[in-house]
Amino acid sequence: MRLSNHVSIITGGANGIGFEAARTFAEEGASVVIADYNEEVGAERVASLREEGLEVTFIVVDVSSHESAAQMVAKAVSIYGKVDSLINNAGITDDAMLKKMTTEQFRRVIDVNLIGVFNCTQAVLPTMTEAGKGKIVNTASVSGAYGNIGQTNYAAAKAGVIGMTKTWAKELGRKGINVNAVAPGFTETAMVESVPKELVQQLKSQIPLQRLGKPKDVAYAYLFLCSRESDYVHGHVLHVDGGIVM
C-alpha cells in the first residue's frame, strides 16, 4: 500500500480521470474525498467504490467559488482530520476559434480551470502548513504546454496552471509542501468525445505511441506525485501524453 494513512482530495473526481484516480488512490490505502459539482454522479460513484470496500466520501463543490472550495476543504478536515494531498483535477472545455469565442466563454473556462485551482489550493494551505507537509498536484494539459487550435481559453488556463505550479513550488517548498503538475495528452474521457472524429484520427497519427491516453495512465502519474517516492520531485510538469510534447 503506497498511500496508507493518507487523505486525498480529488476535485472533479466524479468522472473520467478524477474517478480513475479516486479508485487507484483508495486501492493504495488512501481515504479519498471526491469533490465535484455533479452530486448525482458523484454519489453513485462513491456508492460503487464503497461496495468494493474502499474508503471514499463525496463532497459537493464548485471549484470556481472561493467560498465553496473553503467549505469543501473544511468538511474534508472535519471528516478525516487532515489532508495529505490535493489533486486539482476538475476542468471543463468550451472550445471555439478565436474569432468566434465570446468573453463569457473565455471567462467560464478561466474561472473553473485556473481560478478553481487557486481557490482549492488556498483553501487547503492552512491545514498542510500546520502539518508541515503535503502534496499538491495540478492538472495542466498538452494544450497549455504547446497550444491547441480552438482552445484559446483552455490553453490560457492550463498555461497559467503551469505558472502557478512553479510559483507555488518556490513559495511552499520550505513549508514541506511538494507542488507539481501533470500535463495529460488527449485522454479517453467525455472531454475528448466533443472533438470531431476525423480530428481524433489525425491526432492519433501524431502521437509517437499511436494511441490516446487512458484515465489510468494519468491516475498513475497522480499516484507517483502523491507517494513518498516523489518526495524530491518539485515544481515539475510531468507529461503523460504518449510523447506528443517532447
Q: In the complex, which residues of this chain contact ligand NAI (CB under 6 A)?
A: 11-12, 14-18, 36-38, 61-64, 89-92, 112, 116, 139, 141, 184, 186-187, 189-192
8 A C-beta contact, residue 146 and residue 96: no
Encoded one letter per residue, x for contact with ligand CAA by CB under 6 A and - for no contact, window 188-207 reads ---xx-xxx--x--------
The interface partner of residue 199, options being ligand NAI, ligand CAA, none and the CB cut-off 5 to 8 Å by kind, is ligand CAA
Q: Tell me, letter by letter, the H, E, C secondary structure of the chain.
A: CCCCCCEEEEECCCCHHHHHHHHHHHHCCCEEEEEECCHHHHHHHHHHHHHCCCCEEEEECCCCCHHHHHHHHHHHHHHHCCCCEEEECCCCCCCECCCCCCHHHHHHHHHHHHHHHHHHHHHHHHHHHHHCCEEEEEECCHHHHHCCCCEHHHHHHHHHHHHHHHHHHHHHHHHCEEEEEEEECCECCHHHHCCCHHHHHHHHHHCCCCCCECHHHHHHHHHHHHCHHHCCCCCCEEEECCCCCC
196 vs 208, beta carbon nearer ligand CAA: 196
Q: Please name the amino acid found at residue 80.
A: Y
80 vs 154, beta carbon nearer ligand CAA: 154
Catalytic-residue membership of 154: yes
Residue from the set 96, 131, 233, 244 that interacts with ligand CAA by CB under 6 A: 96
Q: Choosing from 37, 80, 146, 154, which is the catalytic residue?
A: 154
The interface partner of residue 233, options being ligand NAI, ligand CAA, none and the CB cut-off 5 to 8 Å by kind, is none
The interface partner of residue 17, options being ligand CAA, ligand NAI, none and the CB cut-off 5 to 8 Å by kind, is ligand NAI
Assess 244 for contact with ligand CAA (CB under 6 A).
no
Binding span for ligand CAA by CB under 6 A among 33-41, 54-62, 123-131, 149-157 = 149-157
Residue from the set 8, 141, 165, 230 that interacts with ligand CAA by CB under 6 A: 141
72 vs 172, beta carbon nearer ligand NAI: 72
84 vs 241, beta carbon nearer ligand NAI: 241
Q: What are phi and psi of 229, to 5 degrees?
A: -65, -20
Binding site for ligand CAA (CB under 6 A): 93, 95-97, 100, 141-143, 148-151, 154, 186, 191-192, 194-196, 199
Catalytic residues: 154
